[in-house]
Structure 1
């Protein structure tokens, strides 16, 4: 499994999310401006709700930009010990420690993209091949790290 392919896919997914959020923010701002000019003060509550939606979208945008920027710190070299940028195969699945984006399929292989701050990543960090981790009553054995 080529980690650079996974990283390229992460960049693409995050860039797509960022573009969509930027578009949504622009559209919502435009709708809010139209409401301001045509409806007057009696619709102040709905304008505030639209502003809250813009703020929520902006928070999501900032989180995705931060996640995409964090990808530049990932080392693609093979790892002996689990850490940021590790592709970890356990007896339960394949995990890539970078950003939290859920499950992807690359080739015919399912890979779970997890954040370094996630409980699973915390349990795996510092471990090596053959080590065992236990999380929420589930035990996993590390089969391979790359």
Structure 2
């Protein structure tokens, strides 16, 4: 498994997400400026809803920027135990501990990217090859760590 290539895919996906949120915020602000009307309360309600949407997008953008900062600090070197930056194969799947961006396909294998804050990672954190852990009443065994 080439951890460095997977890490680059994660970095690219995070950059794309950041760009998407920045574009959505800009478009929403532009639409808000075009909604000038003399409809009084109706206009104020509409403007408030748009502002809430901008706030929501800004929060998501900030979360993604924080993930990007954490991912930039990850080294692609081999890990001997489950930790941030480890690629972990269990009997249930393949997990890259970095940022929670969902599933990616690398070399025809599904890799689930998960945050160090996720319950799954908390259950397996610090474990080594052949050790077992349990999450949601499901037992898993760590088969390999890169």
Q: Structure 1 length normalisation: TM-score?
A: 0.95
The yes-or-no answer on 1:138 pairing with 2:107 is no
Q: What is the CA distance between 1:39 and its match in structure 2?
A: 3.9
SS of structure 2 residue aligned to 1:112: strand
Distance (whole Å) between structure 1 residues aligned to residue 136 and residue 71 of structure 2 = 28
Match of 2:121 in 1: 121
Please, what is the CA RMSD of the aligned residues? 1.0
Match of 1:33 in 2: 33
Deviation readout 1:37-89 (Å, 9 max, x if unpaired): x4453411000000000000000010111111111221211111110000000
Distance (whole Å) between structure 2 residues aligned to residue 139 and residue 69 of structure 1 = 32
SS of structure 1 residue aligned to 2:35: helix
Unaligned runs of 5+ in 1: none
Unaligned runs of 5+ in 2: none
Match of 2:77 in 1: 77
Give aligned pairs, total: 145
Deviation readout 1:99-131 (Å, 9 max, x if unpaired): 111111011111010000001101111100100
Distance (whole Å) between structure 2 residues aligned to residue 39 and residue 88 of structure 1 = 59
The answer to which structure has the higher helix fraction is 1
Match of 1:62 in 2: 62
Q: Structure 2 length normalisation: TM-score?
A: 0.95
